[in-house]
Structure 1
Amino acid sequence: MQGQRIGYVRVSSFDQNPDRQLEQIDVGKVFADKASGKDTQRPELERLLAFVREGDTVVVHSMDRLARNLDDLRRIVQGLTQRGVRMEFVKEGLTFTGEDSPMANLMLSVMGAFAEFERALIRERQREGIVLAKQRGAYRGRKKSLNSEQIAELKRRVAAGDQKTSVARDFGISRETLYQYLRED
């Protein structure tokens, strides 16, 4: 049974271009998430998983765009192929059909492990770079969301008994950010 070709893309930040991942690849529909790979909330992936039918092919630029880790990758690929959905990974040049040989399963595990290892190395280099930049005084972290007057007002409202959730909402910040401001001197 010949189904449709469906693309899935994930970009880690809102300034990345999701179109680049499936350039020159023929797909009828694309599901695109703008979320970190470690984020468990990927609504477009959930929509894709509910949308695909037997005979369809899901095309993903790279394994690391689909899954957070090797276990997640295996679970998604096996879940789709057991339903008769083909999986294509463009960068790796791999296709999985569910009727795969032991060699194909080994390739999925090896390539997935390499993708997971590569992400870990990137995170480690990023942490090391931040430590070095802090030592040089060149890294100060992200710009604060609120200025000093707003922070004082936020603290005053919380001290007056306003609900923290509503204060955070009024200032357009998360509750965690509110708590960080409250911990500051």
Structure 2
Amino acid sequence: MTNIAYIRVSTIDQNTDRQLDGMTFDKTFTDKLSGATTDRPQLLAMIDWARAGDVVHVHSIDRLARSMSDLLKIVADINAKGAHVKFHKESLTFTGDDSPMQKLMLNMMGSFAQFEREVMKERQREGIAKAKQKGVYKGRVKSVDDAAILALLASGKSVRAVAAELDINPSTVQRAKKNAA
């Protein structure tokens, strides 16, 4: 049996110290990415690493997933490997042989995590709208100049190749291309 820790914070600047503090584990996986998606390198590595009899320790449900469907899938994937998932803050453990009460608790707590994320996004949208009305919000500062993007496109590189080279999203390349037309 291996005790595995999964720790997640939303940004690189955030500190992971408070999660599973004072506990020791055989293997620790840490992501510094939003929980809004399951496309997290360390999450995927942790699920791949888990074996029958292992216990995956997570500080709280919202650290594993922010959407109900993602939470249920992640827990099911870990359980399918014969490993257990233990959420310390909620004092819940899921083995795959869970009782109806355990399933209810997972669904309820997962719903709260999803609700919290949706409320947070709604507040953010409202704040941005108010700032735009006041002329204070101008959007995010561009990390790459359109001229650099257009120069690479003009050299014959594809949208994806330009995005990869400049470490930007392909949609940013498409937008620069559209604005230049």
TM range (shorter): 0.7 to 0.9
**Alignment of structure 1 residues 143-162 onto 2, 5 Å:** 143-147=141-145, 151-155=146-150, 158-159=153-154, 161-162=156-157
In the alignment, structure 1 residue 32 sits paired with structure 2 residue 30: yes
Match of 1:14 among 12, 15, 20: 12
Percent identity of paired positions between Structure 1 and Structure 2? 47
List alignment gaps of at least 5 residues for structure 2. Answer: none
| Larger Rg over CA atoms | 1
Shift of 1:13: 1.7
Residue in 2 that maps onto 1:174: 169
Please give the alpha-carbon distance, in whole angstroms, between the structure 2 residues aligned to 1:108 and 1:153: 48
Deviation at 1:100, TM superposition (A): 2.4
For normalisation by structure 2, the TM-score amounts to 0.84
Amino acid at match of 1:183: K
Give how far 1:156 is off.
5.1
RMSD in angstroms over aligned alpha carbons?
2.3
Unaligned runs of 5+ in 1: none
Task: State the match for 1:62 in structure 2.
Answer: 60
- Give the Cα separation in 2 of the matches to 1:74 and 1:39: 13
Map 1:58-137; keep pairs closer than 5 Å. Answer: 58-137=56-135
CA 167–25 in structure 1, closer or farther in 2 if over 3 Å, else same:
same
- Residues 7/160 of structure 1: CA separation in 2 closer, same or farther (3 Å cut): closer
Deviations 1:76-121, CA, capped at 9 Å, x for gaps: 2233234432211122221222332211111011111111111111
| Residue correspondences, number | 180
- The 1-side partners of 2:74 and 2:171 are apart by 31
Structure 1 residues 28 and 131: alpha-carbon distance in aligned structure 2, compared to 1, 3 A threshold? same
| 1:25 alignment partner, SS class | coil
Contact residue 31 and residue 41 of structure 2 kept, 8 A: yes
Task: Check 1:141–1:29 CA distance in 2 against 1; reply closer, same or farther (3 A cut).
Answer: same
Q: Compared with structure 1, are the counterparts of its residues 159 and 22 closer, same or farther at alpha carbon in structure 2 (3 Å cutoff)? A: same
2:59 and 2:88 in contact (8 A); partners too: yes
Q: For residue 123 of structure 1, report the CA deviation from its aligned partner.
A: 0.6
Question: Aligned AA for 2:177?
Answer: L
